[in-house]
């Protein structure tokens, strides 16, 4: 009898205590068309490197003045972060340079330019700011660095993860536009 009572208690507790639903987020390019040039160019975007602690499904927050990380168990990226970042940059370059061919870098490809991005920080804290830091490079098809620039940006964000992801998207869009402008003027 005690066994059945225990099982019934476990069953009832499982019914009353459930975990919250997970929420999934995508980085989104702005809707407005931002044509920088109609120049015909062939561009490849290399895989974007991020620190290992960010390479997870959960969104990771970190305040710039605090080493503490907050891993949002129920607020997650809708896709692999590296792939989503690369797709974001490709789509942004395609919007800014509509006559360009922009694809992921593949072995044996011979694009005119290769975009290489290294992200060191991609974080922030709710109700404070989102920030990004790192660097990007433009290389020719032989691998020679044509241009290199450091990344450091910060945007205020609201109290929700959706507002945080929007702030990250806006900063990435600014970086993508600066890459497109530099490609045009090389």
* Residue-range domain boundaries for the chain: 36-184
Indicate the helix (H) or strand (E) that contains 57.
Answer: none
Average pLDDT over the chain, rounded to whole?
A: 88
Residues 23-75: tens digit of each pLDDT: 999 999 877 567 888 889 999 999 899 999 999 999 999 987 788 899 999 99
| Rounded distance between C-alpha atoms, residue 138 and residue 21, angstroms | 41
CA atoms within a 13 Å half-sphere pointing along the CA-CB vector of 131: 16
Indicate the helix (H) or strand (E) that contains 149.
Answer: strand 145-156
Name residues whose C-beta falls within 8 Å of residue 37's C-beta, 6 or more positions apart in sequence.
Answer: 96, 97, 180, 184
| pLDDT for 4 | 64
Q: What is the CATH number of domain 36-184?
A: 3.40.50.10610
pLDDT tens across the length of the chain (186 residues): 566 665 565 565 555 556 678 899 999 987 756 788 888 999 999 989 999 999 999 999 998 778 889 999 999 999 999 999 999 999 999 999 999 999 999 877 789 999 999 999 999 999 999 999 999 999 998 889 999 999 999 999 999 999 999 999 999 999 999 999 999 888
Note whether 167 and 127 are within 8 A (CB): no
């Amino acid at each position: 009898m005690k066994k059945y009572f225990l099982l019934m208690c476990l069953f009832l507790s499982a019914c009353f205590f459930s975990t919250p639903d997970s929420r999934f987020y995508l980085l989104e390019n702005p809707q407005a068309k931002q044509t920088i040039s109609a120049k015909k160019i062939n561009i490849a975007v290399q895989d974007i490197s991020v620190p290992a602690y960010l390479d997870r499904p959960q969104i990771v927050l970190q305040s710039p003045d605090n080493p503490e990380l907050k891993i949002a168990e129920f607020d997650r990226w809708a896709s692999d972060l590296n792939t989503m970042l690369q797709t974001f940059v490709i789509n942004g370059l395609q919007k800014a340079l509509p006559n360009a061919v922009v694809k992921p870098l593949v072995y044996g490809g011979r694009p005119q330019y290769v975009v290489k991005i290294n992200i060191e920080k991609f974080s922030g804290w709710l109700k404070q700011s989102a920030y990004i830091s790192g660097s990007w490079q433009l290389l020719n098809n032989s691998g020679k660095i044509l241009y290199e620039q450091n990344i450091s940006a910060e945007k205020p964000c609201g109290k929700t993860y959706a507002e945080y992801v929007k702030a990250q998207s806006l900063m990435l869009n600014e970086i993508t536009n600066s890459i497109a402008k530099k490609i045009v003027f090389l």
